[in-house]
Amino acid sequence: MTEKEKMLNGEFYDSRDPELIRIYHKARKLLLEYNNLNSENIKEREKILKLLFDFVGKGIWIEAPFYCDYGENISIGENTFVNTNCMFLDNNKISIGKNGLIAPYVQIYTASHPLKASERIVQEGNKSRYKTFTRPVDIGDNVWIGGNSIICPGITIGNNVTIGAGSVVTKNIPDNVLAYGNPCKVMRELE
């Protein structure tokens, strides 16, 4: 199994693997170009996003600057808006449905590490490395995620959900609810 396959399977993998580093550098080049484009250059922006992401729905809009690790693990549905300074750590799949609103400074993480340093850090002679594993993030249709929110690895957010600003989402969120806080909790149903 390749390191990329291990990464996408949620197993420990080597993040410095040459194949992953190549994908990372490709994404960095595309992001540099995207983040420096004139906002009026719509066709070029769309072209770059199609090269960067796995799937791009019609009518998506991503404000610059935008950041991600690999890009190719991201799918975004039609008419979704991603505001400025968002970071999608796409070491595993990040799927966002249609008609989403992602506010400024939202962070979506798929990568994680063992909690105990003795399990996280591997000593190899004079060098050390760390263990990393991943879990996908799935965000439904018609979801609004408020500014400065963090979506942790392995989270599923249902359809028609509003996540309040500054939330840290550590557990799955069902359809049709308002949820917020640190940790994020369902506060009420939305009709």
123-149 mean pLDDT:
95
Nearest 5 degrees, angle CA 74-CA 79-CA 85?
55
Burial class of residue 119 (count of CB atoms within 10 Å of its CB; 0-12, 13-18, 19+):
exposed
Catalytic residues: 113
pLDDT in tens, 5-35: 999 999 999 999 999 999 999 999 999 999 9
Q: What is the pLDDT of residue 101?
A: 98
Q: What is the pLDDT of residue 184?
A: 98
Q: What is the pLDDT of residue 191?
A: 79
Are residues 158 and 139 in contact, defined by beta-carbon separation less than 8 angstroms? no
107-121 mean pLDDT:
96
> Which residue type sits at 76?
I
Q: Of 143, 38, 29, 35, which Cα lies nearest the Cα of 81?
A: 143
Rg value, the chain, Cα? 17
Q: Is 175 a residue whose pLDDT tops 90?
A: yes
CB atoms within 10 A of CB 106: 23
Q: Name the percent of the chain lying above pLDDT 90.
A: 95
Nearest 5 degrees, angle CA 68-CA 72-CA 78?
90
Annotate 102-168 with DSSP letters as a single string.
E-TT-EEE-EE--SSHHHHEEEETTEEEE-BEE--EEE-TT-EE-TT-EE-TT-EE-SS-EE-TT-E
Q: Say how far apart CA 162 and CA 56 lie, in whole Å.
A: 22
